[in-house]
Amino acid sequence: MAGRNFLFVPGPTNVPDRVLRAMHRAMEDHRSSDFPALAGPLLQDLKKVFRTSSGQAFIFPATGTGGWEAALTNTLSPGDCVLAARYGQFSHLWIDLAQRVGLRVDVLDAEWGEGAPLERIEEALTADKAHEIKGVLVVHNETATGVTSDIAGVRRVMDRAKHPALLYVDGVSSIGSLDFRMDDWGVDLAVTGSQKGLMLPAGLGIVCAGPKALARREQAKCARVFFDFGDMMKANATGYFPYTPSIPLLYGLRESLALLFEEGLDNVYARHHRLAEGVRAAIKAWGLELCARQPKWHSDTVSAIMVPPGINGADVIDIAYRRYDLALGAGLARMAGKLFRIGHLGDLNDLMLLGAIAGAEMAMRDVGMKVTPGSGVAAASEHYRTTARRLPERDTGVRAPDAQPAAPAAVAAGAAR
Ligand SMILES: *Cc1c(COP(=O)(O)O)cnc(C)c1O
């Protein structure tokens, strides 16, 4: 098919041309004396995306799932108890991984569509007088349901319960796109991957560990080899890795971090919020509901859109893909068929997203959903039009009267036209 495939799954996300070009290079010796000039600054710069100065960043050739495993196995021992909230497929998979590496998991189940249950976390921690619970696991942005949880709130209830457990946060679909503050929120271990907010192909599992987490390393007895922080720290200290790193991904990461810093992280977060508000305006105009049950949980990186009974969300996705070259996210596990997702994170702007909204609208009509043609596009485009951050306008020579220098005749004539 001619033209671009519109990639609107919530990961992998679109890779900016600048990042693609940065990755297109010959392989090089990762033991050379030049290599530390790449690896050293990268590990430092990465910390800025986590907003930590006291933490230490780790880059594994893996994915977010590897990051989950690294965070747990480097800080815990088999039989240790962790408290984990489950409200979607990703929180479910992290719990499953924790159990399979030998941890005992106290699961707090919440409705899929809700966020981390702060009160129940506080109750569980307050009741744990013996401090059996060694860690609290929270998924910041549950990608399966489009729900963002209040991580500062989790830290607040942990402090109120005066509980020493470490705070483990999955930030795979939030870090680099949503406000994330490792130091301010007292996050001890934060996990991400390369293929979401960092706008790279999959292939890096990234973890940031705070001082309290690093101090647990010696006592932590979970088996780990590939993901051992100790081996990584020893090699990273001299600017190297303990095994062969993915050279293109490291160059790509350097470029994607440069893009994020050039835009400014706060502007990146604001852009994601504004884009997401447009998508939510479209959903409202379609007469549909988000999976997220309350506005406080609305995710600015992914919207999970419920389809009415009798409609299979998977059909919407398949038609969007086959007829319109648009990739939408599927409903996962118990949400299969009940919803479809629009990923709106990474390298995106207004008109790209309007294309996805138009395609979703067409596919929904094709499967028989009663959405008014153009309704979502109209609502979103009006949101984008009225909130656009404009480039400085072309200088037409028009000045406020008191600021007016003696205008050359030609410019004055132009302004009068
Ligand atoms: C994508 C994702 C993951 C990790 O998935 P990988 O495929 O292993 O990179 C974990 N958690 C969340 C919230 C995600 O969105």
What pLDDT shows up at residue 402?
65
The domain covering 265-387 belongs, at the CATH homologous superfamily level, to: Aspartate Aminotransferase, domain 1 (3.90.1150.10)
Tokens of 198: 């960092």
Walk along the chain (417 residues) in steps of 10 and give the mean pLDDT of each run. 94 98 97 98 98 98 98 98 98 98 98 98 98 98 98 98 98 98 98 98 98 97 98 98 97 98 98 98 98 98 98 98 98 96 98 98 98 98 93 74 54 44
Alpha carbon distances (Å) from 122 to 140, 155, 157, 182, 410: 17, 10, 5, 20, 71
Give dist(CA 292, CA 298) in Å, integer: 6
- Residue 115, SS3 per DSSP: coil
Residues making up the chain, counted from first to last: 417
Candidate of 173, 174, 180 to mutate for ligand 1, largest count of ligand atoms within 8 Å of Cβ: 173
What pLDDT shows up at residue 404?
52
Residue that the structure tokens 């569509």 belong to: 113
Q: What number does the ligand 1 atom closest to the CA of 10 have? A: 15
Q: Is the CB of 67 under 6 A from ligand 1?
A: no
What pLDDT shows up at residue 408?
52
**Among the listed residues 245, 98, 241, 236, the one whose alpha carbon sits nearest the alpha carbon of residue 170:** 98
Q: Where are the domains of the chain?
A: 17-262, 265-387
Which residues, other chains included, contact 110 with Cβ-Cβ below 8 Å and sequence gap of 6+?
Answer: 85, 86, 87, 116, 117, 120
What pLDDT shows up at residue 411?
47
Q: Give pLDDT tens digits for 133-189.
A: 999 999 999 999 999 999 999 999 999 999 999 999 999 999 999 999 999 999 999
Q: Is the CB of 11 under 6 A from ligand 1?
A: yes
Which residues, other chains included, contact 303 with Cβ-Cβ below 8 Å and sequence gap of 6+?
Answer: 146, 276, 279, 280, 283, 290, 341, 342, 344
Q: Determine the angle formed by the axes of helices 89-100 and 64-73, rounding to 10 degrees.
A: 40
What pLDDT shows up at residue 417?
39
DSSP state for residue 403 in the 8-state scheme: G
What pLDDT shows up at residue 405?
53
Alpha carbon distances (Å) from 179 to 264, 267, 384: 12, 10, 21
Q: Is the CB of 172 under 6 A from ligand 1?
A: yes
SS (H, E, C) 11-56: CCCCCCHHHHHHHCCCCCCCCCCCCHHHHHHHHHHHHHHHCCCCCE
DSSP secondary structure, 303-358, as one string: EEEEPPTT--HHHHHHHHHHHH-EEEEEP-GGGTTTEEEEE--SS--HHHHHHHHH
Residues 293, 298, 302: CA angle, nearest 5 degrees: 115
26 close to 246: Cβ distance less than 8 angstroms: no
Question: Could you tell me the strand order of the sheet in which 302-306 lies?
Answer: 6-8, 326-330, 339-343, 302-306
Q: What number does the ligand 1 atom closest to the CA of 140 have? A: 13
Residue that the structure tokens 């205008």 belong to: 407
DSSP state for residue 165 in the 8-state scheme: P
Candidate of 65, 86, 198 to mutate for ligand 1, largest count of ligand atoms within 8 Å of Cβ: 65
**At 43, which amino acid appears?**
L
Tokens of 265: 């992280």
Query: CATH top-level class for 17-262?
Result: alpha beta
Q: Is the CB of 179 under 6 A from ligand 1?
A: no
